Amino acid sequence: MNINNTFKDMLKEKGYKLTTQRRAVLDVLQNHIGDHLTTEEIYQYVKLQCPEIGLATVYRTVQLLEELKIIDRLTFDDGCNRYELGTFGEDHHHHHLICDFCGQIFEVEEDLMDAIEIQVEKKYKFQVTNHKVKFYGICHQCHAKKHPTS
Ligand SMILES: [Zn+2]
Ligand SMILES: [Zn+2]
Ligand SMILES: [Zn+2]
């Protein structure tokens, strides 16, 4: 799949063009999958590719791409908005593990929530269509620092 064509189609469908700035922002997010960049961080990377771009343009571009659901906004407890590529029409989003000590964010590939959804539907007569999950705790690196094996 040529991902730039996919973005182009998604934008075109909503009446927008894949401009250089939009492509640059999308390229950065695509090259940093799993990094959950803030707008400022996106700007730092985009600048390497388009030195003439301003922070305000990057803000506007990120906002537009979010509105169009091409990228997703994530908020963790550091108060920053962070972004990653969207789910391309699939409702389900991967889950996140957040380390309370170092603040690193890890992604969970497996969806482990099916059993819980079934229980919720049964018990509360609530038909679940989606969920977002964040787990908080101690990552393996911080755990190793706190509990050295030697
Ligand atoms: Zn993620
Ligand atoms: Zn950690
Ligand atoms: Zn899930």
Amino acid making up residue 86: G
Q: Alpha helices, DSSP H only, in the chain?
A: 3-13, 20-31, 39-49, 55-67, 114-124, 140-146
Task: Give the pTM.
Answer: 0.78
- Distance from the alpha carbon of residue 36 to the mean position of ligand 2, in angstroms: 16
Domains (ranges, CATH) in the chain?
Answer: 1-89 (1.10.10.10), 91-150 (3.30.1490.190)
- Distance from the alpha carbon of residue 30 to the mean position of ligand 1, in angstroms: 12
- Distance from the alpha carbon of residue 123 to the mean position of ligand 1, in angstroms: 30
pLDDT tier at 5, thresholds 50, 70, 90: confident
- Distance from the alpha carbon of residue 95 to the mean position of ligand 3, in angstroms: 6
> Is the model's pLDDT at 42 over the cut of 80?
yes
What value does the mean pLDDT of the chain take? Answer: 89
Find tokens 């990228």 and name the residue: 71
Question: What is the pLDDT, as a whole number, of residue 90?
Answer: 65
- Distance from the alpha carbon of residue 56 to the mean position of ligand 1, in angstroms: 24
Q: 74-108, pLDDT tens digit by residue?
A: 888 778 899 999 876 566 778 999 999 998 899 99
More confident residue, 68 or 91: 68
Question: What is the pLDDT, as a whole number, of residue 3?
Answer: 67
Question: What is the pLDDT, as a whole number, of residue 39?
Answer: 96
> Is the model's pLDDT at 10 over the cut of 90?
no
Question: What is the pLDDT, as a whole number, of residue 91?
Answer: 65
Question: What is the pLDDT, as a whole number, of residue 79?
Answer: 84
Quote the percentage of the chain above a pLDDT of 70. 94
